[in-house]
Amino acid sequence: MPFPQTEVPGRLQAELMSRGLRMTRQRRTILSVVETAKQHLDAAQILRHARKIDPQIDRVTVYRTLALLKRHGLIDELDLMHMQGEKHFYERRPQRDHIHMACLRCGKIMEFESDLFDRLKGQIQRDCQFHIVVTRLEVGGYCSRCRTAKPD
Amino acid sequence: MPFPQTEVPGRLQAELMSRGLRMTRQRRTILSVVETAKQHLDAAQILRHARKIDPQIDRVTVYRTLALLKRHGLIDELDLMHMQGEKHFYERRPQRDHIHMACLRCGKIMEFESDLFDRLKGQIQRDCQFHIVVTRLEVGGYCSRCRTAKPD
DNA sequence: TTTCCTCTTGCAACTGAGTGTCAACAGTGT
DNA sequence: ACACTGTTGACACTCAGTTGCAAGAGGAAA
Ligand SMILES: [Zn+2]
Ligand SMILES: [Zn+2]
Ligand SMILES: [Zn+2]
Ligand SMILES: [Zn+2]
């Protein structure tokens, strides 16, 4: 569910190279992990997956590569309402922004695209004369399966 | 102990007491700091302000009290797009949710209420059958004064 | 007011994500 | 192949936040 299947693998690598950045073995590995991820991964999970491909990779390189991708707007950083500690999660930046909903009971993460959200961003840019670079809308609550039995 | 015990309790204090929670000297102090804050404060800043009133207060007590207020939905936790490291900021939960905009150049934080945002939340609850407890919409970009001279 | 129970605090030690430094290494263009 | 320069890995470090526990203090009942 995280990523649209219409995306071509290797797009991140192509983007970085077109920006004149060096394509190292480690970066290729980390990029492929991020690109093929089936859920939102944190830095430690990305490291673990990358080490299955290249066991020598250091966690510092993962942090640096994620910072690079974020700086170039190729990935988005998520907090997922801090439900799993203070980790940050990452996903390839989609063509269209989406909302992340986190169920406070079962922990499920759902995604939702909305025309109202797009219009809201337009309103912000217009009414506040604010040039939007990145947005993060996270919602905590109870999913349909959990809402009948909410705690206190 | 030099503390205004007879003072009329603030809304936060009243809320906690109505929930049957013990009102300690430390909690009164921290609550008053949060309630009278003029900007978004992080835990360390709240501790510093609280120690001006009661120098004995420990930082652990600040963390525990903030967790308590958050658990009871009386304050909201903000990331402010991680512009100042990984700290979290806090503000009293307002009657109406608002959006936080962070200028990536000058660091200014702006707030914005929007009917579209309220409608978007309604749409999420309806279309996703998701019971919303808390939302966090943060936007990073360039404010009107900085947008003419954006870096790289 | 005093007692008593229970919740809360303070301290210290700990966790764990993320950063800074720097020598060695390896892309990339020539 | 060479040289230039950006990148990596190892290690130590930072720093926000947490945990465990003994001592302290709300608060209600006696
Ligand atoms: Zn997502
Ligand atoms: Zn659920
Ligand atoms: Zn965060
Ligand atoms: Zn600005």
Assess B8–A contact: CB distance below 8 Å, yes or no. no
Take residue A44 and report the two structure tokens written for it: 């430690």
Residues of chain B in contact with residue A132, where contact means CB-CB under 8 angstroms, are 139-141
Angstrom distances, CA of residue B52 to CA of A39, B49, B58: 46, 5, 12
If you average pLDDT over residues A109-122, what whole number do you get? 97
Do the chains contact at A79 and B79, CB–CB below 8 Å? yes
A129 shares contact with chain B (CB less than 8 Å): yes
Instruction: Name the percent of chain A lying above pLDDT 70.
Output: 91
Distance between CA B88 and CA B43 in Å, rounded?
7
Amino acid at A94: P
pLDDT value, residue A8: 55
Cβ-count burial A41-54 (b if 16+ within 10 Å, e if not) = bbbebbbebbbeee
- Check: CB of residue A42 under 8 Å from CB of residue A87: yes
Catalogue the long-range contacts made by B10-16 (C-beta closer than 8 Å, 24 or more residues apart): B10/B35, B11/B35, B12/B69, B12/B74, B12/B92, B15/B72, B15/B74, B16/B68, B16/B69, B16/B72, B16/B74
B53 vs B30: CA distance, rounded Å: 9
pLDDT computed for residue B8 by the predictor: 45
A10: contact with B, CB 8 A cutoff: no
Measured in angstroms, what separates residue A75's CA from nucleotide D25's C1'?
50
- Nearest chain A CA: its distance from B20 CA (Å): 14
Contact call for A128 and B144, based on CB within 8 A: yes
**Average pLDDT score over chain B:** 90
Which residues in chain B (68-97) have CB-CB distances under 8 A to chain A? 77, 79, 81-82, 86, 88
The answer to whether the C-beta of B25 is closer than 7 A to strand D is yes
Domains of chain B: 1-94 (1.10.10.10), 96-152 (3.30.1490.190)
Confidence class for position B85, pLDDT limits 50, 70, 90: confident
